Structure 1
Amino acid sequence: MSAAEWKKRCEAEWSLHGAPMPDSLDWKSIYDAKPLGRNLLRNPSPHGLSKDTPPPEADLPEVPSRGPPRFQPDGDFTGWTTSTEVLPYDTSGIPEGVVICALPQYSWFSMEQVVDLKAEGLWEELLDEFQPEIVIQDWYEESQVHESIYELHVKLLGADKTTVISEHTVKPTEDLSVYSHTWKEVSHVFSNYGAGVRYVHFLHRLKNNFLNAFFPTLFACSSVIVKPIKTSS
């Protein structure tokens, strides 16, 4: 196929009519990269779980753990940068003189990725002029671990990786009086975000609880998808 034919194929398959498509670009390479409509995050389900299957029930040990406390869940976190923040014990509300046998210890487990939009096959003219929708979606496990168990922080960054062009943060509060143990969806659509976006910084934090056993908050099917749709201003 000629360069013009590859360009026409991209335009037709991704419905890019009216979007800037310079002849100088390698349209075969862009077509092979398939930057539009696919998940640009690497390893979106490190726990091997799917939002289409209920999250596993917690394993309650018959005998309390005698080992050191755990603060990081199991999983293959290839592609993610991870970190753990162990929180201090919360002794508020405990009357003076009360003997404490054990207290839960909480920790945040953070996972982040930076998506290079140009390296994934997107081109500057599309990002700057057409500004296609950038759709963020995540699913976390409803649990009784704590009233605050999940945070999402997403930033659209400029070429220097530090300039924030747009951002979105979610910090839901859980209703501990209701327990259905399902996946909870978190989503956001970036549109009309302005010129200069070259990277997407995706970070979420999930809270874990250790009290005689380790109780993590799990997640599945995280995604960053650029859709060939332009939202009208």
Structure 2
Amino acid sequence: MARNLLKNPSGEEQLEFWELTENGGSQWKVEDMPGDCGHDFCSDGVTKYFVTSFELCMKRQVIDILAEDYSPEQLDAQPAVTVEDWYCGRTDCGCTYLMTVCLLDENHELIQDFKPEPVTLDPDSDDCSWKQVSHTFSDYGPGLRYISFEHGGQDAKFWDGWFGVRVTRSSVTVEV
């Protein structure tokens, strides 16, 4: 089974290993599951999540795949790269979720990306429970050396505090 190349995917180490690319409002925070007006996670073992604020909050990790013990030959064979993320909202405030994952070459030039449309969760029409987004890259050509994983969002009502989207159990795997 392929291992998760993201470090600290659920906030067990607060914001360690994440680059805060946007940190608006009350800024990023880590909370314990299920949190105020929240939902328990759908599987055991996930006890924390990251939560965004009333202004845009985005965080990123750039994975050096060669440093993770993959060879250039393995990567040039175009192994499947699977990214997953889990997000939810509060039951009392809507929010927006954003995600961008980029496959990059040795010069950090874009090979291929996955950028789904922003997701808006509205507690008036959605239960705002945990939802998964997943994508597998294939046939992207040789040269993969880095993977940039970025996600985040904000709340929809601009309430002061941490009422925005919640994210946890993010993963990036390379199947060789």
TM-score by length of structure 1 reads: 0.57
Task: Let me know the Cα RMSD of the aligned residues.
Answer: 2.2
Residues 1:115 and 2:54 are matched in the alignment: no
Structure 1 unaligned residues grouped into runs of 5+: 1-35, 49-74, 87-104, 229-233
Task: Supply the distance in 2 between the matched residues of 1:137 and 1:178 (Cα, whole angstroms).
Answer: 24
Structure 2 unaligned residues grouped into runs of 5+: 26-52
Greater radius of gyration (CA): 1
One-letter code aligned to 1:168: F
2:18 matched to which residue of 1?
Answer: 80
Contact 1:142 1:184 (8 Å CA) reproduced: no
C-alpha spacing 1:213/1:153, structure 2 compared with 1 (3 Å): closer
Once the two structures are superposed, the pairs formed by residues 1-233 of structure 1 within 5 Å of their partners are 37-46=2-11, 48=12, 76-82=14-20, 83-85=22-24, 106-128=54-76, 130-143=77-90, 145-146=93-94, 149-161=96-108, 163-174=109-120, 176=122, 177-208=124-155, 210-211=158-159, 213-228=161-176
SS in 1 for 2:9: coil
Task: Supply the distance in 2 between the matched residues of 1:156 and 1:212 (Cα, whole angstroms).
Answer: 35
One-letter code aligned to 2:118: P
Contact 2:89 2:164 (8 Å CA) reproduced: no
SS in 1 for 2:115: strand
Could you tell me how far 1:145 is from its partner in structure 2? 3.4
Task: Supply the distance in 2 between the matched residues of 1:212 and 1:159 (Cα, whole angstroms).
Answer: 41
**1:96-143 per-position Cα deviation (integer Å, ceiling 9, x unaligned):** xxxxxxxxx931111100000000011111111x21100000001134
Contact 2:87 2:130 (8 Å CA) reproduced: yes
Identity among equivalent pairs (%): 32
Could you tell me how far 1:224 is from its partner in structure 2? 0.3
Task: Supply the distance in 1 between the matched residues of 2:161 and 2:8 (Cα, whole angstroms).
Answer: 27
Per chain length, whose mean CA-contact separation is higher, i.e. which structure has more relative contact order (CA < 8 Å, sep 6+)?
Answer: 2
Task: Supply the distance in 2 between the matched residues of 1:213 and 1:37 (Cα, whole angstroms).
Answer: 37
C-alpha spacing 1:124/1:149, structure 2 compared with 1 (3 Å): same
SS in 2 for 1:76: coil
* More strand per residue: 2
Task: Supply the distance in 2 between the matched residues of 1:81 and 1:153 (Cα, whole angstroms).
Answer: 14
Contact 1:152 1:170 (8 Å CA) reproduced: yes
**1:133-190 per-position Cα deviation (integer Å, ceiling 9, x unaligned):** 00000001134634x51111111111012x1011110233335332323111111100
Task: Supply the distance in 2 between the matched residues of 1:178 and 1:40 (Cα, whole angstroms).
Answer: 35
* More helix per residue: 1
